[in-house]
């Protein structure tokens, strides 16, 4: 299977058109079309369907996509190793994260040590970031520990308390702490079902025997913050991600705190990668300096 044809396939899948993919790869459109058609004819399959001006992947194309991404990532790693003789003088590391807070902290430390490595960060919810990691769309992922996944190495990095974000006029605002049992009857704003913050709060409330009354489901931290500012309810946030505002107050839980553990996830089969290993090494050293827990 030609790596040139695989790159052509990936470019079309990414761009959604042959013309845009050709510009991305710096080749003519007829050349790119020939490469994709050659891959299809070689294996007797159809990878794309034209729907008006749009290009969509067929079922075979969808199944090929994560495999092609894996092949592309391995090709890049091989070229980097051979070109730089094992030295990290070039490369592009793709990081997935549910929040920029700890991810930026990691990237800052890494760039100071490896300034020639390009890094991009893709932010999404836990489910989408984990899927990107699984499909080789990102190389590493900064996620709250939400389950132990077979085939992944999990490097603990930090623990952040889950606290309440309340409007300054709310009765809780004048208090530094509240008991989780005081949430009964409160109008709570909840994150989407894949949110680890939401899961941590629900588990703590269940353990305390506290029924929660959710007024609304909100799909982003920014939207939840705005809703609290407008007095629509109160929400749970990770302390590390809270942005101070004169209209808001952060209120902690008394007694048994609610915690979220942030970890760096890596596919075990890619752990030997020089590039990925260098980032993991920096994160482990940074964790030691910040005093984060070690599993």
65-94 mean pLDDT: 74
SS3 track for 196-231: HHHHHHHHHHHHCCCCCEEEEECCCHHHHHHHHHCC
> Are 224 and 201 a contacting pair, CB within 8 Å?
no
86-95, 105-114, 193-202, 224-233: which has the minimum mean pLDDT? 86-95
As assigned by CATH, the class of the 159-260 domain is alpha beta
Residue 232 pLDDT more than 90?
A: yes
Give strand ranges (E) for 59-199: 92-97, 118-123, 140-144, 152-167, 177-178, 187-190
SS3 track for 11-50: HHHHHCCHHHHHHHHCCCHHHHHHHHHHHHHHHCCCCEEE
Binned at pLDDT 50, 70 and 90, residue 46 comes out as very high
User: Hey, what are 55's tokens?
Assistant: 């290009």
Q: Kindly report, residue by residue over 82-110, the tens digit of the pLDDT.
A: 655 466 777 889 999 988 889 999 999 99
Most confident of 83-92, 123-132, 206-215: 206-215
What is the predicted pLDDT for the residue at 82? 62
Binned at pLDDT 50, 70 and 90, residue 290 comes out as low
Q: Which of 226, 242, 233, 129 is nearest to 190 (CA)?
A: 233
What is the predicted pLDDT for the residue at 25? 85
The values of phi and psi at residue 163, to 5°, are -130, 175
The residue with greater pLDDT, 94 or 134, is 94
Residue 295 pLDDT more than 50?
A: no
User: Hey, what are 14's tokens?
Assistant: 């990414």
What is the predicted pLDDT for the residue at 222? 86
What is the predicted pLDDT for the residue at 133? 87
Instruction: Name the percent of the chain in helix, strand, coil, to the closest 5.
Output: 45, 25, 30
Residue 134 pLDDT more than 90?
A: no
174-197 mean pLDDT: 88
Q: Return the number of other C-beta atoms located less than 10 Å from residue 198's C-beta.
A: 21
Residues of the chain with CATH 1.10.10.10: 1-81
Residue 96: alpha-carbon gap to chain centroid? 3
As assigned by CATH, the class of the 1-81 domain is mainly alpha
pTM score, whole prediction:
0.67
> Are 105 and 286 a contacting pair, CB within 8 Å?
yes
What is the predicted pLDDT for the residue at 289? 62
Q: Which of 282, 284, 269, 274 is nearest to 91 (CA)?
A: 274
Binned at pLDDT 50, 70 and 90, residue 177 comes out as very high
Binned at pLDDT 50, 70 and 90, residue 14 comes out as confident
Residues of the chain with CATH 3.40.190.10: 159-260
Q: At what angle do helices 29-43 and 18-25 cross, to 10 degrees?
A: 110
Residue 47 pLDDT more than 60?
A: yes
Q: Which of 93, 80, 92, 68 is nearest to 5 (CA)?
A: 68
């Amino acid at each position: 299977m030609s790596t040139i044809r695989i790159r052509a396939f990936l470019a079309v899948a990414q761009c959604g058109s042959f013309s845009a993919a050709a510009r991305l790869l710096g080749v003519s459109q007829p050349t790119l079309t020939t490469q994709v058609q050659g891959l299809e004819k070689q294996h007797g399959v159809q990878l794309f369907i034209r729907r008006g001006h749009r290009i969509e992947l067929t079922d075979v194309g969808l199944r090929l996509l994560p495999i092609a991404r894996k092949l592309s990532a391995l090709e890049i790693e091989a070229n980097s190793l051979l070109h730089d003789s094992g030295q990290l003088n070039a490369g592009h590391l793709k990081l997935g994260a549910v929040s920029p807070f700890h991810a930026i902290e990691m990237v800052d430390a890494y760039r100071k040590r490896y300034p020639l490595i390009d890094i991009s960060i893709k932010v999404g919810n836990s489910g989408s970031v984990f899927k990107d990691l699984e499909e080789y769309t990102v190389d590493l992922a900064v996620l709250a520990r939400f389950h132990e996944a077979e085939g992944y190495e999990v490097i603990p990095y930090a623990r952040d308390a889950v606290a309440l974000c309340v409007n300054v006029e709310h009765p809780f605002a004048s208090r530094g702490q509240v008991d989780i049992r005081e949430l009964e009857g409160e109008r709570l704003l909840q994150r989407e079902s894949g949110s680890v913050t939401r899961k941590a709060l629900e588990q703590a409330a269940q353990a305390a025997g506290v029924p929660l009354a959710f007024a609304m489901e909100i799909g982003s931290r920014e939207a939840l913050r705005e809703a609290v500012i407008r007095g629509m309810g109160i929400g749970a946030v990770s302390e590390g991600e809270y942005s101070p505002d004169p209209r808001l107050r952060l209120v902690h839980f008394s007694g048994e705190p609610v915690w979220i553990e942030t970890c760096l996830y890596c596919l075990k089969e890619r752990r030997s990668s020089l590039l990925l290993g260098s980032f993991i090494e920096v994160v482990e050293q940074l964790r030691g300096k910040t005093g984060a827990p070690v599993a």
